[in-house]
């Protein structure tokens, strides 16, 4: 009964539905703006037609990547060409991939002249220890999905800050806190119900929106890209194990991190709200916590405490909610999860100390 009541309170708040709508609009705009373009030399193909064109060509070369396959692609389409600013003026998904990852192309000269063997470490893929077992498929779209999720994380995070920050502080403003906290049910059962309701709404909403755009990406670009190795997304070749495919990355890395990040955010917002006497104060402090990774990056000052701050930031909700494929080492994931769990425990302690303990300053 208490859980249902708390869920109804959250569902009736306009902030939830406004945030949900804005998240859909932002995700839709980013999806549309990232649709590919193909430059054939005779014209330009864009949008859904370009995605279908690239998908059809990539299907002919899907499988383990070999030098013979790269040579066949260049023999058929030639090297991709770029202007001085790095914009593609001729190319499709296949020859752009080979040009950028298997040739002497560089950001300085913007031109490829020869293929580089996978046995050479100068090649992006040649630096990988399992270069002979790289599965290749059409990954366009999947390599930009993380940007869509970053936009969703920002919008949904702001939504949760506005929605959940007043959960406890509003009771103090309305002077109902002493009455609620007068009973053990108000200090225990209601707290559990509020935490559960907050987590269900936060995690359910984010996973629902994220799942929708994941499905849209698959319908546009094809789910065969999930079978490709992470190196096809531009991930660092020396830190990702052979077994990690694009699909495994989303299922085994992104999904658990997103759920844990949502949990950290819910517990942290609840803890701040339990300590604050005004909703505005709670919202401001919660917004500062959520935006801290961005603020830190803008005001980057290197000191002897920088490694510690970096470790703390890695476990904060903003970074946990977005997919990052720059580091595939399990030790990093474990350390990040440990820091996130510490944030969860800190939030629960703040809820207990600020609301559950029977302190006189808040009434019995």
Query: Helix 279-298 to helix 255-275 angle, to the nearest 10 degrees?
Result: 130
How confident is the model over 129-166, as pLDDT tens digits? Answer: 666 678 889 998 888 888 899 899 999 999 999 999 88
pTM confidence score: 0.85
How confident is the model over 174-230, as pLDDT tens digits? Answer: 787 777 777 777 778 888 889 999 999 999 999 999 999 999 999 999 999 999 888
pLDDT for res 364:
38
Q: Which of 134, 85, 87, 126 is nearest to 103 (CA)?
A: 126
pLDDT for res 307:
66
Q: Which of 78-82, 192-196, 330-334 has maximum average pLDDT?
A: 192-196
Q: Which two tokens stand for residue 224?
A: 């065969």
Query: Helix 47-61 to helix 93-101 angle, to the nearest 10 degrees?
Result: 60
pLDDT for res 240:
64
**DSSP letter string, 181-215:** TTSHHHHTHHHHHHHHHHHHHHHHHHHHHHHHHHH
pLDDT of 241 over the 70 cut: no
- Sorted by where each begins, the domain ranges of the chain are 2-32+143-362, 37-136
pLDDT of 358 over the 70 cut: no
**DSSP letter string, 133-144:** G-EE---TTTTT
In angstroms, the CA 322 to CA 311 distance is 16
pLDDT for res 363:
41
Q: Which of 356, 35, 22 is nearest to 205 (CA)?
A: 22
Q: Which of 91-95, 217-221, 234-238, 321-325 has maximum average pLDDT?
A: 217-221
Q: Which is higher by pLDDT, 82 or 259?
A: 259
**Mean pLDDT over the full length of the chain:** 83
Do 292 and 312 contact (CB within 8 A), yes or no? Answer: no
């Amino acid at each position: 009964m208490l859980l249902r009541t708390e869920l109804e309170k959250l569902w009736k708040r306009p902030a939830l539905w406004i945030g949900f709508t804005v998240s859909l609009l932002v995700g839709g705009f980013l999806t549309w703006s990232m649709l590919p373009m193909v430059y054939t030399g005779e014209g330009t193909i864009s949008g859904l037609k370009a995605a279908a064109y690239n998908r059809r060509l990539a299907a002919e070369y899907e499988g383990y990547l070999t030098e013979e396959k790269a040579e066949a692609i260049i023999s058929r389409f030639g090297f991709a060409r770029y202007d001085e600013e790095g914009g593609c003026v001729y190319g499709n998904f296949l020859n752009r991939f080979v040009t950028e990852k298997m040739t002497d192309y560089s950001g300085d000269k913007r031109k490829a002249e020869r293929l580089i063997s996978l046995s050479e470490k100068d090649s992006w893929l040649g630096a990988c220890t399992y270069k002979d077992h790289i599965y290749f498929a059409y990954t366009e779209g999947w390599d930009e999905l993380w940007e869509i999720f970053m936009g969703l994380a920002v919008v949904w995070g702001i939504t949760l800050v506005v929605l959940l920050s007043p959960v406890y502080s509003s009771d103090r403003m309305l002077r109902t806190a002493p009455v609620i906290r007068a009973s053990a049910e108000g200090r225990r059962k209601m707290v559990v119900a509020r935490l559960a309701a907050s987590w269900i709404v936060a995690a359910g909403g984010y996973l629902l929106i994220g799942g929708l755009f994941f499905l849209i990406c698959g319908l546009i670009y094809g789910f065969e890209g999930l079978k490709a190795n992470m190196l096809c997304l531009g991930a660092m070749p020396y830190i990702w194990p052979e077994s990690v495919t694009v699909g495994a990355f989303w299922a085994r890395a992104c999904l658990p991190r997103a759920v844990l990040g949502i949990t950290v955010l819910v517990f942290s917002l609840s803890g701040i709200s339990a300590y604050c006497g005004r909703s505005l104060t709670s919202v401001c402090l919660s917004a500062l916590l959520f935006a801290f990774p961005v603020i830190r990056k803008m005001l980057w000052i290197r000191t002897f405490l920088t490694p510690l701050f970096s470790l703390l930031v890695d476990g904060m909700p903003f970074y946990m909610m977005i997919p990052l494929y720059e580091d595939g080492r399990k030790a990093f994931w474990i350390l990040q999860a440990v820091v996130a769990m510490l944030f969860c425990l800190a939030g629960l302690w703040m809820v207990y100390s600020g609301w559950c303990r029977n302190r006189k300053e808040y009434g019995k």
